[in-house]
Amino acid sequence: MKKILIISDSEVGSQFIQRVAQTYSSENLYYVVQIKAKEFEDINPTKFKFYEFDPTSLYKLSNLLKMEFVHVFIAMDNLVDVENTIKNIRTIKKQLRIIVINQWKLENEDPNIVMINANEHLASRLVDYLPNVPVIAQNVGMGEGEIMEVLVPFGSSFAYRHIGVIEQKNWRIVAIYRNRKLVMPSRRRMIQPNDLLLLIGDPAVLKSVYRAIKRELGQFPEPFGSNLYLYIDMNIVNHSTIKELIRRAVFAHKKFKHNLIIKVVNPGNISLLQHIKSFRSNNVLIHIEYDKKDLQQEFYSDIKLYHIGLVIVSKETFSNCKMRTILYESHVPVLKISDKSFSTVKDSVLVLSDNRDLEKISATIFDISEQMGFNIELYNYMAEHQDVKELVIENYYNLSTIFSKSIKIIKENENPMRTLKKKENFMQILPFTQKLTQRRIFSLFSIDNEKLYYKLDDYHQIFIPVQL
């Protein structure tokens, strides 16, 4: 929950507070400072906290600014009050982003202070009504949200990623505004924190993109979904391993702190079913499918119904070619659990290849590793071309800085798959691409380490879709 500070001493400020209360109060906490208190309708007391004092008083404002705010909005009628309020904020918070309603052509060179020229915006709105004059920015198109501006925050999953590796299906990044200057996007351009992205695309897709850009660590399995789903087909899974499979799935469920749905199909062991039912609780839902239905369609329906963000399966289930294709087409991350202990895993392992799929899913990898308490190790096979790998490594170093999580780059002169087979325990993370749906026999002579994922079948693996 982000904290927003609103300093209001004007009619515009009062209108702004009222509109925020009616429309935008669900995701933030709002702290409102007024010189003279005013009444507002439909205020949610859990989202709004009101204070009555003069913000030009450094002593009074400093007490409030002991909290961490992401933005400050200033809407005041007196120029001297605005200048002194900004001065007070900067005395305490040097980098806090400030948005000011500017009625006096006030200028400021601080890149973290945004001056909104009130008269200019009103004049611009009036120009929209003139005949034979092109409409600029917010009124272009259908006006249904197909054009969107998004500020990239620190800790965003998009920060320090190259535009070329961001899957842009039904949407595009068409411009970047950096330090109040237009920067044209290119495949090798890297997005930086505080960049303002101009996006164009399908309105529904842009809403998902917006959530992904604003996402920070601790949110997985978002933005893929909000719950975990353990899928057990008793015709596929070895019955002797089911109890351990459930125990390890529950362990992952407790780490990610999301609800777990256990789905059993083709039930054929009464004692095991009774054992599974014993896990039922407020956060664990058990669903046993006794009827012979279209299991594939039922699986996709469950993904949508329960808003699934992570599917958990056994290694026998993932080795089934048909099931692997069904999992891929669900576009949801998959955790394949092996027979090894899960609680003793300490490292997330990534094997670099000559494509940039690992950069596409880098923020998700950091999120998973942070929540599970794993170190991140990147294995770089030096016998292969290094140009693409260096870009991926650069991305991971940048993310390690903003997420304050160290990474380890391991250079290998032999194929890392051989080295990893000697490693005691770890979890491998891979991009979930279509080539993984091929039958294993077709990859016997492949040199693509991703296609050879099954060589590490005895270890836990997470497969992450590369599309948003």
- Mean pLDDT, the chain, rounded, equals 86
Neighbours of 412 (CB within 10 A): 17
450 and 363 assigned to the same domain = yes
Write out the residue range of the structural domain in which residue 449 sits.
347-465
Question: Which domain-ending residue is among 78, 106, 127?
Answer: 127
Q: What is the pLDDT of residues 20-67, one digit of tens each?
A: 887 755 678 999 999 998 888 888 888 899 999 999 999 999 999 999
Running DSSP on this structure, what letter comes out for residue 162?
A: B
Phi/psi for 176 (5° steps) reads: -125, 130
Q: Model-level pTM?
A: 0.62
pLDDT over 70 (residue 144): no
Check which CATH number belongs to the domain holding 366 and give it.
3.40.50
Specify if 336 maps to a domain.
no
236 and 280 assigned to the same domain = yes
411 and 444 assigned to the same domain = yes
Name the band, by pLDDT with cuts 50, 70 and 90, for residue 136.
very low
Phi/psi for 183 (5° steps) reads: -120, 120
121 and 195 assigned to the same domain = no
Which residue type occupies 155? Answer: G
Poorest-pLDDT segment among 150-164, 256-270, 356-370: 150-164
Task: Identify each DSSP E strand in 189-323 by its residue range.
Answer: 196-201, 227-233, 260-265, 284-289, 308-314
Of the candidates 422, 335, 328, the one whose C-alpha atom is nearest the C-alpha of residue 374 is 335
pLDDT of 231 reads 96
363 and 458 assigned to the same domain = yes
Asked if 464 and 364 touch (Cβ cutoff 8 Å), the reply is: yes
Check which CATH number belongs to the domain holding 80 and give it.
3.40.50.720
Q: What is the pLDDT of residues 385-431, one digit of tens each?
A: 788 888 888 888 877 876 678 899 999 888 888 889 888 889 999 99
pLDDT of 161 reads 83
Q: What is the arithmetic mean of pLDDT over 130-142?
A: 51
Q: What is the pLDDT of residues 279-298, one digit of tens each?
A: 999 899 999 988 877 889 99
Name the band, by pLDDT with cuts 50, 70 and 90, for residue 143.
low
Distances in Å between the Cα of 291 and the Cα atoms of 234, 285, 287, 297, 303 are 14, 18, 12, 14, 19
The number of folded domains in the chain is 4
Asked if 217 and 370 touch (Cβ cutoff 8 Å), the reply is: yes
Check which CATH number belongs to the domain holding 199 and give it.
3.30.70.1450
pLDDT over 50 (residue 137): no
d(CA 362, CA 401): 13
13 and 72 assigned to the same domain = yes
Question: Which domain-ending residue is among 304, 331, 358?
Answer: 331
d(CA 117, CA 207): 28
Name the band, by pLDDT with cuts 50, 70 and 90, for residue 229.
very high
pLDDT of 133 reads 45
pLDDT over 60 (residue 219): yes
Q: What is the arithmetic mean of pLDDT over 209-237?
A: 83
The listed range with the strongest mean pLDDT (49-53, 118-122, 206-210, 464-468) is 49-53
Sorted by sequence, the CB contacts under 8 Å of residue 408 that are 6+ apart come out as 375, 376, 377, 378
Q: Kindly list the strands in the beta sheet with 284-289, ordered across the sheet, starting from the edge strand earlier in the chain.
A: 284-289, 260-265, 227-233, 308-314, 334-337, 460-465, 427-432, 347-351, 375-381, 407-412
Specify if 204 maps to a domain.
yes
